């Protein structure tokens, strides 16, 4: 690709140069590799999490006893694991050299963690086999390890899919970059109260914005719409996560 020729910035004002950290350079290369190799499309959906949030908040005392904080993330992990099992075309990698699709029989999900030294993506293994408390404890532990630079290489490998949640910060939607060789990534923005028409009147409902970016070589648009619909149904009635 054509390189970007830098001007001499000092002609415009004072500048300082500093070396990129190894992590920043590696992340930059990974982002560019994915951006250039993967034909990206992003599918948007709002999930009604009013009841889920009531349930989650009701777990506060139980969480304090266990020493674990229940955030929306474990529900998202569980819903994504169910959606990946229902729509296995999302749980693949493409081997373009051998012209093969690699189908995975396991469900490991990466979580993007914002740290002072950059973006890290620890991986929770076998999400489909774990309960909400276990997922809450494990994601908090891995996120802390990421912030403390204590993650082992094995703890950052093997993901089938990634969740990147900016919901604790803000924003209404974004278009995440697929963490290739995975073929999809779920972006989560901040839940907000919205008027939702129930057929007779508007009801105030807490709506969670979801942004699913996918590799259009592996997944078609109809499947992406199915995936976000499944997520929205599961998060809208979390009893269905038990089915």
Which residues carry out catalysis? 216
Task: Report the site for ligand CAO in 83-112 (rule: CB under 6 A).
Answer: 111-112
Biggest CA pair distance of the chain: 64
Task: Report the site for ligand CAO in 40-79 (rule: CB under 6 A).
Answer: 71-73
Residue number of the CB closest to ligand CAO reads: 167
**In this structure, what are the phi and psi dihedrals at residue 229, rounded to the nearest 5 degrees?**
-65, -40
CB of 99 to ligand CAO, least distance (A): 31
CB of 102 to ligand CAO, least distance (A): 24
Q: Is 234 in the site for ligand CAO (CB under 6 A)?
A: no
**Which CB sits closer to ligand CAO, 160 or 178?**
178
DSSP designation for 175: -
**Which CB sits closer to ligand CAO, 85 or 193?**
193
x/- string (CB under 6 A) for ligand CAO, residues 186-205?
--x-xx--------------
CA 177, 179, 180, 182 dihedral sign is negative
Which long-range contacts (C-beta less than 8 Å, at least 24 apart) are formed by 123-130? Answer: 123/155, 123/156, 123/157, 123/158, 123/159, 124/77, 125/158, 127/77, 127/78, 127/80, 127/81, 128/81, 128/82, 128/84, 128/85
Q: Is 143 in the site for ligand CAO (CB under 6 A)?
A: yes
**In this structure, what are the phi and psi dihedrals at residue 124, rounded to the nearest 5 degrees?**
-100, 125
**Which CB sits closer to ligand CAO, 140 or 241?**
140
d(CA 78, CA 130): 8
CB of 213 to ligand CAO, least distance (A): 11
**Which CB sits closer to ligand CAO, 153 or 170?**
170
Task: Report the site for ligand CAO in 149-188 (rule: CB under 6 A).
Answer: 164-168, 176, 188
Conformation bin of residue 207: beta by default, left when phi > 0, alpha when psi is -120 to 50: beta
Q: Is 120 in the site for ligand CAO (CB under 6 A)?
A: no
Q: Which residues bind ligand CAO (CB under 6 A)?
A: 71-73, 111-114, 119, 143, 164-168, 176, 188, 190-191, 208
């Amino acid at each position: 690709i054509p390189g970007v020729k830098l001007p001499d910035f000092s002609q415009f004002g004072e500048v300082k140069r500093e070396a990129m950290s190894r992590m920043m350079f590696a992340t930059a290369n990974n982002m560019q590799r994915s951006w250039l190799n993967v034909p990206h499309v992003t599918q948007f959906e709002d999930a009604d999490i009013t009841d889920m949030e009531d349930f989650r908040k009701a777990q506060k005392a139980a969480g304090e006893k266990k020493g674990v904080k229940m955030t929306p993330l474990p529900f998202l992990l569980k819903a994504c694991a169910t959606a990946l099992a229902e729509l296995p075309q999302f749980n693949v990698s493409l081997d373009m050299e051998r012209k093969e699709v690699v189908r995975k029989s396991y469900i490991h999900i990466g979580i993007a963690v914002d740290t002072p030294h950059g973006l890290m993506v620890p991986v929770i293994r076998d999400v489909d086999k774990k309960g909400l408390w276990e997922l809450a404890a494990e994601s908090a532990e891995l996120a802390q390890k990421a912030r403390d630079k204590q993650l082992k290489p094995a703890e950052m490998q093997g993901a089938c899919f990634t969740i990147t949640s900016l919901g604790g910060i803000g924003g209404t939607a974004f278009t995440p970059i697929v963490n290739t060789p995975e073929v999809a990534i779920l972006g989560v923005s901040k839940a907000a109260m919205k008027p939702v028409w129930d057929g007779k009147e508007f009801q105030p409902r807490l709506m969670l914005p979801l942004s699913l970016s996918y590799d259009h070589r592996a997944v078609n648009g109809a499947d992406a719409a199915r995936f976000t619909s499944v997520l929205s149904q599961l998060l809208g009635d979390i009893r269905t996560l038990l089915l």
